[in-house]
């Protein structure tokens, strides 16, 4: 018998252990990168936007959040990291 916690449809509730039971260095790097840019976008937004606007920001999809933060930083030089962020999200399933 499996130790998986299942919902009423018989589907696993926590897929992390099933899919991530073997994590190599590349997987770990991608996961850390994903976490790092989410944290960075939220920090930038919290610094750049007033509270009411930040509250709306938190409800947006990632792509919209990234566009909003990027637009607010137009005075800064173009950075290759933005291309990487948008490409990474585009390739996620």
Residue 44 belongs to some domain of the structure: yes
- DSSP class of residue 76 equals S
Residue 84 belongs to some domain of the structure: yes
User: What tens-digit pLDDT sequence spans the chain (93 residues)?
Assistant: 456 778 888 887 777 677 777 778 888 888 888 888 888 888 888 888 888 888 888 888 888 888 888 888 777 656 667 777 777 666 554
Residue 5 belongs to some domain of the structure: no
Q: Torsion angle, CA of 23/26/32/38, rounded to 10 degrees?
A: -120
In the prediction, which pLDDT does 1 show? Answer: 43
Chain centroid to CA 68: how far? 15
Q: Is the pTM of this model over 0.75?
A: no
Residue 10 belongs to some domain of the structure: no
- Helical pair 25-48 and 62-72, crossing angle rounded to 10 deg: 50
From the CB of residue 45, how many other CB atoms can be counted at a distance below 10 Å?
19
């Amino acid at each position: 018998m499996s130790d998986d916690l299942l919902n009423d449809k018989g589907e696993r509730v926590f897929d992390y252990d099933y899919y991530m039971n073997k994590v190599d260095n590349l997987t770990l790097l991608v996961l850390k990168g994903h976490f790092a840019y989410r944290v960075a976008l939220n920090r930038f937004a919290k610094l750049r936007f007033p509270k009411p606007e930040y509250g709306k920001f938190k409800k947006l999809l990632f792509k919209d959040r990234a566009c909003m933060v990027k637009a607010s930083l137009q005075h800064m030089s173009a950075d290759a990291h933005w291309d990487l962020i948008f490409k990474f999200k585009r390739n996620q399933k």
